[in-house]
Structure 1
Amino acid sequence: MEVPTWVWTLTVVGIVGMLLFDFVFHVRKAHVPTLKEASVWSALYVGIAVLFGFGVLWFGGGTMGGEYFAGYITEKALSVDNLFVFLIIMTSFRVPREDQQKVLLFGIVFALIARTGFIFLGAALINQFAWVFYFFGLILILTAGNMLKGEAQGGHDEDEQNFVVKLARRFIRTSEEFDGDKLTTVVDGKKMLTPMLLVMVAIGGTDILFALDSIPAIFGLTQNTFIVFTATAFSLLGLRQLFFLIEGLLERLIYLSYGLAAILAFIGVKLILHALHENNLGFINGGEHVDVTEISTGVSLSVILGILVVTVVASLVSKKGRAKTAIGNAQRHVDAYLDLDYTADTSERERIFGKLIQEGEQIKALGPKYRRMVRDEPGLMAKIEKARQQHEETVTDGRQRNPLTEV
């Protein structure tokens, strides 16, 4: 189905308008978003994406609507996995909590621009060369294999994921400290770049890498450029709010990468089957089309939803997942609490310490088998004790306790 130019124009204007609204009314003034704020706006952006999908379903028909929803769900799931890397980058640079929103919004805008370029490049290649489907399918299958290999070696490798960070640090010299959310500052009378620029370069660089698997994945579900663009754009919108909403749950999704690997492998096989059906390579079946069964949009949507439901539910009910979440979050929260430059918001510091208390209770409830996972974290207990002492010095009643020190 050919999409009219005026529909393209209205869609692009609407997406740009939402990004501008997000910047002017939420990000321009540095602050730490509350759970309520993150929840409301995450739900709103998802609601807008779903309503848009129903519009596609109404005006474009069942196939087009199914392709949009399959693409949106796949891209959204991949975006959630990408939040792990965003968290690693911002932790590495010790980005102040109040300024993390601006970094994330920049990453979203950069990703949208970069992926739009990849989308139109991919569409042009597909129109000219049918063999591109073989290439895209192979990329996705290899990516799925690398995901499984990474999980077998312990999940997201900080050193491996941060090579963009190291590259940025090598070629861009900056001041030691942040100056709010400014990109430049003055140190000893000299104008210098701040670490904020490094963070944005690192986020932008990783966004380009993410596009190498997300764009082939969605082209495996639809070759309609309008659907590819809108599903990608709406999956990115609201990602900033989602980060603050599920940040504490990221470690909990211990099986998400397995699910994403299965989805990418499934789409890779779907692409190769489509490539065989459209085959014009001389060394395959004499350049003739191969009579193979293609996977329908309905089957694709069902498989993607099924895999995601199983992996998310399995992650949430897993005791190992709960233990890993509590330990990982305790490590981040204690580091954040001890870092006086992390936030100037006293309520945010209280929130962090409150989280430490909750995580201590969670670890105690898991039993000795999982409490040993805490003792294996070098220096964690010493940091927690230091945080407890620091908190007691600042709280007048001195009656708060930290169960983590009792583990």
Structure 2
Amino acid sequence: MSNESIFLLSFILFIVFILALDLGLFGKKSETVSMKQAGLMSFFVVALSVCFYFVLIKFGHYLHGIDSIDKLQQVIQKHHHPVKIIPNDLESSIQLYNQNLGLEYLTGYVVEYALSVDNIFVIVLVFTAFGVAPKNYHRVLFWGILGAIVMRFIFIFVGAALIQKFDWIMYVFGAFLVFTGVKMFFDRNSEEKIDTQNHPVVKFANRYFKVHNHFVGNKFFVTIDGVKKMTPLFLVLLIIEGTDLIFAVDSIPAIFSVTKDPYVVFFSNIFAIIGLRSMFFLLAGILDKFRFLKVGLAALLTFIGLKMLFHHYLDDWGFSTTDSLFIIVGILGLSIGLSLAFPEKKKDRKLRFDPENDDNIRH
């Protein structure tokens, strides 16, 4: 087995272990996830994500089986890494390559983790609109994350293959992200709603499958009079999977602006996804306090899109991954800082959501 296969297989086994740990900690000890539990799990996942950065800067060259200057040159050219090889010095060249690989991963992780926040807004709306009991949030999110990992894996490697074959796709991705960023800015104050009766997933399920009208504990399926039926909880899971699919259309092109290496894209995506569940429980009840976060995410997508459109000029100017990381962190930090410094005045809200309360109240 090649070093590349061993590295990837080890990563997948590690993720399986983290998911199993997540399910064991939160699936058996309690029905609901408290803020304290979510905070501890969020810290744990972020810490692991940062630790993986150090793994890459130490062992990243094993990812593509780099064992010679020629092999290193091939990998750098194939994935467009901004690394200059030191002639006749494989060890120093690998060190520079690994440092860049780690930085690309860290930058991509920050981008993906930030964009996941927008996903949380929609998940809150879905849970509230369908009246899902908080004790069932973890089950839906856990299986939703498993589905998201599979979809992201397919999207990432298909996207990488297309970019390798058609360079112009980068410009399509860039234009799409600029459009999405501008649209998000102008739609930032619009009220999003979930129509539970006319949602496409609900209409499709009712047309082609047997659907039970009521929740049955935390079950996705129930057998009634010998007939197996979907429960509304499974419909919610399908809607959340569809939501992640839509968000992947934004987030995956965004990270390709940071790195063209599909493995680095995959690593950063997966760590962001496994952190989404704990981040949901941590932030769901306080998202409305970050009034400028949508503006920050819109600016982030627009910046990334412009970076993809003008990447050739930026490369000539010496614009590096480190510069991207500083700008991305700066945008997010400024939007959060302004939100805390200038909080929105209290007013009556149509929806109040508390992840630790069984009653999600509509006014």
Q: TM-score, normalised by structure 1?
A: 0.73
Residue 165 to residue 205, structure 1, CA distance change in 2 (3 Å): farther
**1:96 matched residue in structure 2:** 133
**1:192 matched residue in structure 2:** 229
**2:86 matched residue in structure 1:** none
**2:270 matched residue in structure 1:** 233
Moved more, 58-67 or 73-82: 58-67
Deviation at 1:187, TM superposition (A): 4.7
**2:217 matched residue in structure 1:** 180
**1:295 matched residue in structure 2:** 319
What one-letter code is carried by the residue in structure 2 that aligns with 1:39?
Answer: G
Counterpart contact for 1:252–1:315, Cα < 8 Å: yes
**1:204 matched residue in structure 2:** 241
**1:341 matched residue in structure 2:** none
What SS does structure 1 have at the residue aligned with 2:181? helix
**2:331 matched residue in structure 1:** 307
What one-letter code is carried by the residue in structure 2 that aligns with 1:293?
Answer: W
What SS does structure 1 have at the residue aligned with 2:217? coil
Residue 313 to residue 108, structure 1, CA distance change in 2 (3 Å): same
Deviation at 1:54, TM superposition (A): 2.0
2:204 matches 1:167: no
How far apart, CA to CA, are the structure 2 residues paired with 1:291 and 1:47?
A: 32
Deviation at 1:185, TM superposition (A): 2.2
Within 5 A, what are the aligned runs for 1:310-389? 310-320=334-344, 323=346, 327=349, 331-332=352-353, 348=357, 380=363
How far apart, CA to CA, are the structure 2 residues paired with 1:3 and 1:214?
A: 29
What SS does structure 2 have at the residue aligned with 1:248? coil
Counterpart contact for 2:197–2:203, Cα < 8 Å: no
**2:298 matched residue in structure 1:** 261
How far apart, CA to CA, are the structure 2 residues paired with 1:75 and 1:165?
A: 31
Residue 263 to residue 192, structure 1, CA distance change in 2 (3 Å): same
How far apart, CA to CA, are the structure 2 residues paired with 1:176 and 1:200?
A: 15
How far apart, CA to CA, are the structure 1 residues paired with 2:318 and 2:298?
A: 20
Give CA-to-partner distance per residue, 1:360-405, whole Å, 9 cap, x none: xxxxxxxxxxxxxxxxxxx84xxxxxxxxxxxxxxxxxxxxxxxxx
2:155 matches 1:131: no
How far apart, CA to CA, are the structure 1 residues paired with 2:116 and 2:197?
A: 18
Larger radius of gyration: 1
2:256 matches 1:219: yes
Deviation at 1:194, TM superposition (A): 0.7
Deviation at 1:166, TM superposition (A): 0.2
What SS does structure 2 have at the residue aligned with 1:236? helix
Unaligned runs of 5+ in 2: 61-97
What SS does structure 2 have at the residue aligned with 1:95? coil
Residue 33 to residue 165, structure 1, CA distance change in 2 (3 Å): farther
**2:146 matched residue in structure 1:** 109
Residue 246 to residue 215, structure 1, CA distance change in 2 (3 Å): same
Q: Percent identity?
A: 35
Residue 184 to residue 157, structure 1, CA distance change in 2 (3 Å): same
**1:62 matched residue in structure 2:** 99
Moved more, 11-20 or 217-226: 11-20
How far apart, CA to CA, are the structure 2 residues paired with 1:332 and 1:80?
A: 16
- Deviating above 3 A after TM superposition, structure 1's stretches of 4 or more consecutive aligned residues are 162-165, 186-191, 290-294, 326-329
What SS does structure 2 have at the residue aligned with 1:192? strand
**1:157 matched residue in structure 2:** 192
**1:20 matched residue in structure 2:** 20
Q: Which has the higher helix share?
A: 1
What one-letter code is carried by the residue in structure 1 that aligns with 2:283?
Answer: I
Deviation at 1:128, TM superposition (A): 0.8
Q: CA RMSD in A?
A: 2.7
How far apart, CA to CA, are the structure 1 residues paired with 2:269 and 2:177?
A: 17
**2:79 matched residue in structure 1:** none
Deviation at 1:59, TM superposition (A): 3.6
Residue 7 to residue 348, structure 1, CA distance change in 2 (3 Å): same
Give CA-to-partner distance per residue, 1:131-153, whole Å, 9 cap, x none: 111111111111101101211xx
How far apart, CA to CA, are the structure 2 residues paired with 1:241 and 1:219?
A: 25
What one-letter code is carried by the residue in structure 2 that aligns with 1:300?
Answer: S
What one-letter code is carried by the residue in structure 1 that aligns with 2:204?
Answer: F
How far apart, CA to CA, are the structure 1 residues paired with 2:238 and 2:167?
A: 35
Deviation at 1:80, TM superposition (A): 1.2
How far apart, CA to CA, are the structure 2 residues paired with 1:269 and 1:314?
A: 24
How far apart, CA to CA, are the structure 2 residues paired with 1:241 and 1:295?
A: 34
Residue 53 to residue 3, structure 1, CA distance change in 2 (3 Å): farther
Give CA-to-partner distance per residue, 1:232-269, whole Å, 9 cap, x none: 00011122111111111111111111111111111111
Residue 291 to residue 11, structure 1, CA distance change in 2 (3 Å): closer
Q: TM-score, normalised by structure 2?
A: 0.81
Counterpart contact for 2:38–2:279, Cα < 8 Å: yes
2:170 matches 1:146: no
Counterpart contact for 1:110–1:207, Cα < 8 Å: no
Unaligned runs of 5+ in 1: 278-289, 337-346, 357-378, 381-407
Deviation at 1:323, TM superposition (A): 2.5
What one-letter code is carried by the residue in structure 2 that aligns with 1:310?
Answer: L
By relative contact order (CA 8 Å, sep 6+), the higher-ranking structure is 2
